[in-house]
Amino acid sequence: MEVFTQLGLDDSIIKSIGELGFVEPTPVQKETIPLILNSEKDLIALAQTGTGKTAGFGLPLIQKIDTNNNNIHALILAPTRELCIQITRDIKLYSKYSDKVKTIAVYGGANIAIQIKTIKKGVHIVVGTPGRTLDLLKRKVLKFNALRWLVLDEADEMLNMGFKEELDAILSGTPEEKQTLLFSATMPRDVRRIAQRYMTKPEEITIGQKNKGADNVSHHYYVVTASNKYLTLKRLADINPDIYGIVFCRTRAETKDIAGKLMNDGYNADALHGDLSQAQRDNVMSRFRKGNLQLLIATDVAARGLDVNDLTHIINYNLPDETEMYIHRSGRTGRAGKFGLSISIMSQRERRKVISLERITGKKFQFNKVPGGAEICEKRLFNLIDKIENVEIDEAQIEKYLPMIYQKFERFEHEELIKRFVSVEFNRFLKYYKDAGDLNMNKNERNIGSRNDSGKQRKRARRDQPGYARFFINIGKRDKLSTAEMIGLVNDCMKNRDISIGKIDILKNFSFFEIENDYESKVVKAFNGANYKGIKLDVQLSKSEKKGAHPPKSDWRNRKKRGNRNRKY
């Protein structure tokens, strides 16, 4: 077994990570630590989240920092404030016994004046989000004339979040003579472009298969109607009493709605979304990290960069629009050698995505039936029995109450007492699921009724609820349009970030997007006069539901008239 002492690390670092319980390096650490310690070559490291990348670049950087020089030696860029905070906390722990290594996290939402004051006193390592880093660079607070290392952590996520321009501005403002270390879970075209433009003959290592899912994560899916998704989510939480995971939703409005319903129904859950203040966000994350919350309901944007260990489940309440995002979601469980489960609750329309997800993850997805009431009650009953069997008894604390408890129970026989005790938990679920119906959707199921978990008959709508209207827009991949930018356009033009956005199809020259029916009449008017990178937007209600459908004929004529004024063909 290879240990950290064999990688060439100083005794001070070995001592600090030893106190953290580090013994055997992970595969990515075995590869990156010696390379960074002994070479100045640029590095591309492809590895999933949770594989120990922070120590992989952090430990050798700490060792090579010249603490006699108070200039900035290393810049680490990360996609979110949470990941910045996590990386900074880890580096400070790793450098506990290293002489005077100073590290600061710079990110939006925190007091910039305090950050500026700390930087001016002298720091060696800056960990920042692209937005705040560029802001401080423009203010001439961050000076990179002595920069020796540039780390891009989760580069694919930074580009997915739309930080391309910020990254270009920051990278072009750093010295050519430096070592660039790029860490990414996937290697899409934009990440490859960054590498080609800003790196010199980089060494490339891949831990596992490129763009593939983690080996110790299983993938399951359930197929139900959209109106039964929430009931399915509750059943999955009920049949997994010790669940500790993240539920991913499409929009912040849906996030608030699902979290609110779960809390009202007595589940230990809360939401993480963009409308929270930094203090509220920190409070939610603190409770979740400590395990005081079992379920965190979040959007991809809100949850990017979260680094929480021991998650048992990732639940996709809605599948992401981009299949590579699924890798990032599922990679948040199954860390540090533990096994995790990624669950997707799908509508019949979403089921066709399974093949592409299996291809990109390299894993077989297992179809499951939504558990029924009897199965859930049985699981909860035996979970209670296991807890009773394994509970630790604190004699000193409970002893003074025992005489009264014995007196209360002395009239019951042994068997009767056990029955009463376990029925406290069992009866609650038995009553709730007494008339629970089958939530599973058959392949050919259409306009039929189903019973909800209260036993009442419900009409099933012809299409997923809420209903969505489909719109054409005259921009696409050729205009560098991404799913995130399309969502941003809708939010900006509609001036309402709580609108539920459905499916987005980005094609070469044009795209389609869905908006919930309540806003159908307002969409065209909202986009009137809007521009995207100098292109006047044309948005029309689409008459076709098919992916790849042709744009309205009027737009073909308009494009011919525009010619080369707005596009390069």
Q: For residue 445, what pLDDT is reported?
A: 46
Question: So where are the chain's domains?
Answer: 4-206, 217-372, 374-432, 468-562
Structure tokens given for 398 = 């409970």
> Distance (Å, rounded) from C-alpha 293 to C-alpha 296?
7
CA dist 177 to 88, 138, 418, Å?
25, 21, 73
What is the DSSP secondary-structure string of 50-88?
TSSHHHHHHHHHHHH--TT--S--EEEE-SSHHHHHHHH
Helix or strand holding residue 150 (H, E): strand 149-153
pLDDT in tens, 439-492: 887 654 443 334 455 444 443 333 333 468 899 999 998 888 888 788 878 888
Q: For residue 100, what pLDDT is reported?
A: 87
> Distance (Å, rounded) from C-alpha 69 to C-alpha 556?
62
Q: For residue 304, what pLDDT is reported?
A: 62
In this structure, is the dihedral angle defined by the CA atoms of residues 14, 15, 19 and 23, taken in order, positive or negative? positive
Helix or strand holding residue 409 (H, E): helix 402-409
More confidently predicted of 481 and 61: 61
* From 8-12, 298-302, 374-378, the region with the lowest mean pLDDT: 298-302
Residues facing 103 on adjacent strands = 125
Cβ within 8 Å of residue 44, ≥6 positions away: 182, 184, 187, 195, 199, 202, 203, 204, 205
SS3 state of residue 179: strand
Check whether 559 has a pLDDT greater than 50: no
> Distance (Å, rounded) from C-alpha 150 to C-alpha 152?
7
> Distance (Å, rounded) from C-alpha 208 to C-alpha 101?
33
Contact 473, 531 (CB under 8 A): no
CA dist 366 to 217, 341, 343, Å?
12, 11, 9
CA dist 318 to 73, 351, 501, 536, Å?
42, 11, 11, 32
pTM: 0.57
N-term to C-term CA, the chain: 57
CA dist 209 to 186, 339, 493, Å?
10, 18, 41
Indicate the average pLDDT of the chain. Answer: 83
Q: For residue 157, what pLDDT is reported?
A: 81
Q: For residue 267, what pLDDT is reported?
A: 92
Average pLDDT over residues 141-160: 91
Average pLDDT over residues 98-102: 87
**475: closest CA among 557, 561, 555?**
555
> Distance (Å, rounded) from C-alpha 94 to C-alpha 58?
8
pLDDT in tens, 164-185: 899 999 999 999 999 999 998 7
Q: 4-206 in CATH: which number?
A: 3.40.50.300
Q: For residue 553, what pLDDT is reported?
A: 52
Q: For residue 295, what pLDDT is reported?
A: 95
Check whether 237 has a pLDDT greater than 90: yes
Q: For residue 169, what pLDDT is reported?
A: 93
For the domain made up of 468-562, give the CATH fold.
Alpha-Beta Plaits (3.30.70)
For the domain made up of 217-372, give the CATH fold.
Rossmann fold (3.40.50)
CA dist 379 to 228, 310, 374, 402, 430, Å?
22, 22, 9, 30, 12
pLDDT in tens, 327-376: 878 888 877 667 889 999 998 878 888 888 888 888 899 999 999 888 88
Q: Do the domains at 217-372 and 468-562 have one common CATH topology?
A: no
> Distance (Å, rounded) from C-alpha 205 to C-alpha 34?
13
> Distance (Å, rounded) from C-alpha 236 to C-alpha 565?
54
SS3 state of residue 366: strand
Contact 103, 92 (CB under 8 A): yes
Contact 452, 231 (CB under 8 A): yes
Q: For residue 560, what pLDDT is reported?
A: 42
pLDDT in tens, 484-538: 788 878 888 887 666 778 888 889 889 999 887 778 888 999 998 888 888 999 9
Average pLDDT over residues 83-110: 91
Q: What's at 509, amino acid-wise?
A: N
* From 20-24, 214-218, 230-234, the region with the lowest mean pLDDT: 214-218
> Distance (Å, rounded) from C-alpha 294 to C-alpha 268?
6
How does DSSP classify residue 218? Answer: E
Q: For residue 60, what pLDDT is reported?
A: 95
pLDDT grade for 213, boundaries at 50, 70 and 90: low
Q: What's at 117, amino acid-wise?
A: K
pLDDT grade for 568, boundaries at 50, 70 and 90: very low
Structure tokens given for 55 = 């120590």
Pairing status of strand 217-223 against strand 340-346? parallel
Check whether 555 has a pLDDT greater than 50: no
Q: For residue 463, what pLDDT is reported?
A: 37
Pairing status of strand 149-153 against strand 179-184? parallel
More confidently predicted of 496 and 103: 103
pLDDT grade for 305, boundaries at 50, 70 and 90: low
pLDDT in tens, 382-409: 888 888 888 888 888 888 888 888 888 8
> Distance (Å, rounded) from C-alpha 273 to C-alpha 254?
10
> Distance (Å, rounded) from C-alpha 118 to C-alpha 111?
11
Contact 5, 14 (CB under 8 A): yes
Check whether 412 has a pLDDT greater than 60: yes
